[in-house]
Structure 1
Amino acid sequence: MKKVGVVIPIYNVEKYLKECLDSVINQTYTNLEIILVNDGSTDENSLNIAKEYTLKDKRIILFDKKNGGLSSARNVGIEYFSGEYKLKNKTQTIKENSLIEFNIEGNNPYEIYTVYKSYKAFNNEQDLTNFTYPIIDYIIFLDSDDYWELNCIEECVPRMDGVEVVWFDETKYYEISCKNQSQSSRLKDINMKQEKKITSLEWLRHLARSKMKDFSFACSGMINFNHIKDKKLKFKDGVFAEDHLFGILLFSQAKNIYIYPKIFYYYRIRANSLTNQDKKITKDNILPYFKDIFIVFEENATLAKEYFKCASWVQTSLELVQFIENYHDKKISSLLRDVILYFYIKNAFKVEKFDKDPLCIKEKLQLLKPYKISKIKYKIMRFLIS
């Protein structure tokens, strides 16, 4: 029976966390290893709820860390399952109805304070000393204000045979007022309505035929964990829309992708999120790791967010260019350049409009100039491909 690792970042989601976790622990497929990563929550109950669920379900392990953003929290999951952490038990004796505490020994790049596991996972004190990371076959990410259909994992596992990714559909729930409450999704946008297996080359050609100019992927599917390790894939820290670079590199390097156009994932659009679509940004929406930029822009939250987005597109573009230039499959590289790169380069150069540059990102634009093309040329290239 294949073992599936579930990674759930948590940040100030006390209103939604129970709904999310109930959808995970009640999955019809039970062979799970569930990682909760509390990313420095400042609300009253997020961490307490996470501890409550960790105590009652021995499949859960809880990491409590300094706030570093969504990428850092997801990467803790990847690094834990990859065996990059050495856990040292802080708790010496097992007591009923209690959490066992561990510290990270040695390398701890994301400043993990404490790791928690239920007493139910251990038979004796020797188990505490010998505790180590589980070996998983597949990994799946879920944001803590979202939730799954209860048969999500059971439906995905058999379809993982011979593919690197199973890509399923999602639906959105709008908690905030948006002008455009679209129910579109990446899968719907490329008009894939039938279950089928495709190659990375076919994926890019489908993008070219669609109106989609960019691409992102994080929570809308299951991933072969060996693929993650072999390609050394992680989420880029400290950027907006981290799922763009991750998704493009993941799909580009996959031999096969399974298209499963069925809705399993319920995605909440809410106000207290850096990536929400609401333009009414307030001081309360600024995440702790983002505050330095916020201060430089004199607490103008909207301006700070726009700068951060543009600076992130610069960093994403640089990574994409490096991948395109070095990737061994020149057909994939060529299609990435012609189909996807234009969107990121175009948005990267918008950083030029800002007088302030706290991340010193403008100087890196010089590296992107050779890849800057006109909109007309871009449209012609996409037309020829499609």
Structure 2
Amino acid sequence: MISVIIPLFNVERFIEECLRSLENQIYKNFEVLIINDGSTDNSVFIVEEYIKISSMCIKLVSQKNAGVSAARNKGIDEAIGEYLCFVDSDDMVTPEYLSGLIDLIKTNKSEAAFCGYKMVSENYKIDKHLESYNLSSHETISSYQALEKYLYHEFVSGACSLLVKKDLLEKYELRFTEGYRYSEDLEMVWKIISICKSISINKNQMYLYRTRRGSAMTFVDEKRDDGFKLMIGLEEHFRYYRPDFFMEFSKFGVARWVWATLWQIAITSENYSDFKSNTKQYNPEIYMRRLFKFPECRVSISSLIFYLSPFIYYAIVKNIGKILIQRKKII
């Protein structure tokens, strides 16, 4: 059985669509664990009403508001499935989501599998089936190869496009770090990849990530520092668990996170003064310099521009952001 863990907090507009997308799964041997993290709107009522008409095995567990990591950890503790996946309550999945992931794990005897994801707008309506599902669009690689691909963004994934053996998390006593608002799922993915022997990747976009105004990824505040601390902490994780990868991660891991954060801050800052103020705590000159030889051209070139002139970097990124927004593209 697969246990699908869904943290629930004030998403009355979206939770029913999320559950309906799970109802349409090709693979049927799964339970749904909904962890109510202290919702104050009608989310819980909607779930309770949905349970009455659903053919799925749904369990609703409530706790005081403690954050998404605590809710996911509660789901791990409550899960009875051999495999775990994590779906956000305002997102959706295609009918092939569970079957595409479990088939890869079973066929290749890997310990975790990832799928592609598609970023969709707030009002997006899911089609009945994935538009272009490619049966051969997958691969199984070693843990070291997966770490390299993840570091160099040759594949990109969060916790929600992941299926993993529960026994693996129990063996290493691995849980989401609680009390952090940013990058806690990124940290978890890094750790899971590092303790696996092999990873399977299904490149089909089977997870639909809904971008919403006011969501954690659409603005930048001081709590973004949480992610910086978690990424620095990962260096010690790799030093202990994966010394073979430690040097590579210590060179580019935190730096690549800083690069992405600077990009977001440049787009969302009101002016250059705000940009400078909001980035100084990340020691950007040090980390951007490390990226001069990063394999991804846009990263290496923009890092060099920042090092030579932060103002020119800010102006360029700000204009790129305006163009993308005008074209209604999602960053």
TM-score (norm 2): 0.71
Match status 1:257 vs 2:202: no
Equivalent-residue separation in structure 2 for 1:264 and 1:216 (angstroms): 12
Separation (CA, whole Å) in 1 of partners of 2:40 and 2:212:
17
CA drift at 1:76: 0.9
* Matched-pair identity in %: 26
Alignment match, 2:230? 316
CA distance in 2, matches of 1:29, 1:76: 24
Using the TM superposition, give the Cα deviation of residue 373 of structure 1 relative to its aligned residue in structure 2, in angstroms. 4.4
What RMSD, in angstroms, separates the aligned Cα atoms of the two structures? Answer: 3.1
What does residue 14 of structure 2 align with?
Answer: 16
Contact 1:195 1:261 in 2 (8 A): yes
Q: How many residues align?
A: 267
2:96 corresponds to: 151
User: 3-state DSSP class of the match of 2:5?
Assistant: strand
Match of 2:50 among 53, 72, 83: 53
Shift of 1:306: 1.4
Deviation at 1:339? 2.9
- Distance of 2:232 and 2:150 partners within structure 1: 21
Q: Distance in 2 between matches of 1:317 and 1:209?
A: 15
Which residue in 1 is equivalent to 2:300? none
Check conservation: 1:37, 1:63, Cα contact below 8 A.
yes
**Could you tell me which of 121, 125, 139 is aligned with 1:174?**
121
Q: Assess if the C-alpha contact under 8 Å between 2:147 and 2:190 holds in 1.
A: no
Q: Distance in 1 between matches of 2:189 and 2:57?
A: 27
How much does 1:210 deviate? 4.8
Runs of 4+ in structure 1 off by over 4 angstroms are: 207-212, 344-348
- Unaligned regions of 5+ residues in structure 2, if any? 124-135, 266-275, 297-331
Alignment of 1:266-281 (within 5 A): 266-275=208-217, 277=218, 279=219
Q: Helix, strand or coil: the match of 1:219?
A: helix
CA distance in 1, matches of 2:159, 2:290: 31
Aligned-partner Cα distance in 2 for 1:149–1:267? 11
Offset at residue 198 of structure 1 (A): 0.9
Amino acid at match of 1:195: H
Give the match for residue 334 of structure 1: 247
CA contact (8 A) 2:112 2:199 kept: yes
Contact kept, 8 Å, 1:163 with 1:257, in 2: the verdict is: yes
The answer to which structure has the higher helix fraction is: 2
Secondary structure at 2:292's aligned position in 1?
A: helix
For residues 338 and 374 of structure 1, what CA distance do their matches in structure 2 show? 9
Rg larger in structure: 1
Contact 1:216 1:246 in 2 (8 A): no
Q: Quick one: which amino acid aligns to residue 113 of structure 2?
A: V
Q: Does structure 1 residue 138 correspond to structure 2 residue 83? A: yes
Q: Is the 8 A contact 1:169 1:220 kept in 2?
A: yes
- The one-character-per-residue Cα deviations of 1:94-122 (angstroms, maximum 9, x if unpaired) are xxxxxxxxxxxxxxxxxxxxxxxxxxxxx
Whole-angstrom CA distance in 1 between matches of 2:234 and 2:83 = 25
2:197 & 2:247 partners in 1: Cα distance?
17
Contact 2:235/2:246, CA 8 A, preserved across alignment: no
After TM superposition, list the pairs within 5 Å mapping 1:233-312 onto structure 2: 233-239=174-180, 240-275=182-217, 277=218, 279=219, 306-309=221-224, 311-312=225-226
Of the three residues 27, 35, 38, the one matched with 2:36 is 38
Given that 2:228 and 2:258 are in contact with CA atoms closer than 8 Å, whether structure 1 keeps it comes out as yes
Counterpart residue number, 2:301: none
In 2, are the aligned partners of 1:207 and 1:339 still within 8 Å (CA)?
Answer: no
Which residue is 2:4 aligned to? 6
**CA gap 1:209/1:266 in 2 versus in 1, 3 angstroms:** closer
Q: Deviations over 1:150-188 (max 9, x none)?
A: 232122222112112111111111228xxxxxxxxxxxx
